[in-house]
A and B are shown apart, each in its own frame.
Chain A
């Protein structure tokens, strides 16, 4: 009963704290709400007329939605890079950042699920996928594995920080014996969500561009670069605009993680490029389309070369200690690395899988305005959720939010 009372009070207090703030804060939330409404309007058109309002066709049957979904799974998985040092290796420097990282994972996972739902042709019959009342094709379909790991990871990332914050809210220390098992599990689970998502594509013998053993490991490397890079940027914003002080040392340690992951990612990229272009086969055509274009069709060329150059530039900048320890350079590199991997692991991965088609047909894909609207709406929703979570967490951690007996 007492717990329930504390919980109600926590909900009330956090509602108070997220509805109050500076002018800038209100402006930010207002902007996000506006984008979300636009996105919802676009989605209502899509619901009404069907997926024909998107740029997808029978030839390229997955597009922007699935691309963003794939990328965001990586962002969600990246929270492990903070969870592991804090809870398992007991590195005190990560302690403040870890809650933010988990909040980011929650927001990213909700965006993932939203992107999958947006991509469905029949969202009204999605209950067919609920185990128990529908038919869940487990373990044959990798998509069912993905449903399990994503929802499980979402649960872990909500419950662990919730427990810690709930204790701190009452002015108590959180008990290690309670959250350490969950944290340990989430370390393995994080690797799981990204590997399983890679297997979704990797297991298709029909698409040689994806049917490649390096896909899963490369997903992990790029995720552990892009995710922590985003966390660095978010922490930088938080420490400028809030009371929550994050030490330079924390940022520098996360930067180290980003650097190593980006380097590994680059090595794997070179390995992939070597395999595709040293002795090109029929199966290298998708890679040719992506990097050089086929038959004068070159829609992805500017994107992928931007991504590659940003990727290389960021990795080089991060590799030199002097440059990495300069925060301006660090934030810049993190930003371009994030953009580069968003392109590369998003539509740079999904779209070429379909081009050329099974019989060599080259039909290009360009997202429509409605598709982009829905995508932006979902990103805004993610940012909105993250802002609310972070504001509450910071309130509790800085001690402004406490249970009054």
Chain B
């Protein structure tokens, strides 16, 4: 596994991991897929039942693809804007975008597992990351989430595994000290 600095000129802030045998970082892979019409057509066709189950209302495969393409473009620009602005202005800290993975988590433990949703109120785009500080995140992956929980589909369970693997990797790399461990125990 390799750690990649996503925005080269901006010190710290957004990192991504590149898994073994993968050509790109997890962050880059997400946006390559979310802007690839062929990938999205195959994805929504094979998850048509989830798409049209009513959780997201009634939506055709075509509209789902167009919506994803638009949202991905907006999300990419928003992340870049916050990464740049957040170094100067705390109002743009990445923490204001990433939310705790667990909806019932109201405090911020060290190495918190987080998610970033797309722009729309009912967006299915998710970026998963480990929080190190308010403006310091390591992206582990992401997904198109069409079901209410992450436990219902294989591709989402895989994202949970990836979060755990990266968290372990950061621990192995000694990116924690004794105080941080105390935080972890509380988690």
Judge: A and B partners, yes or no.
no
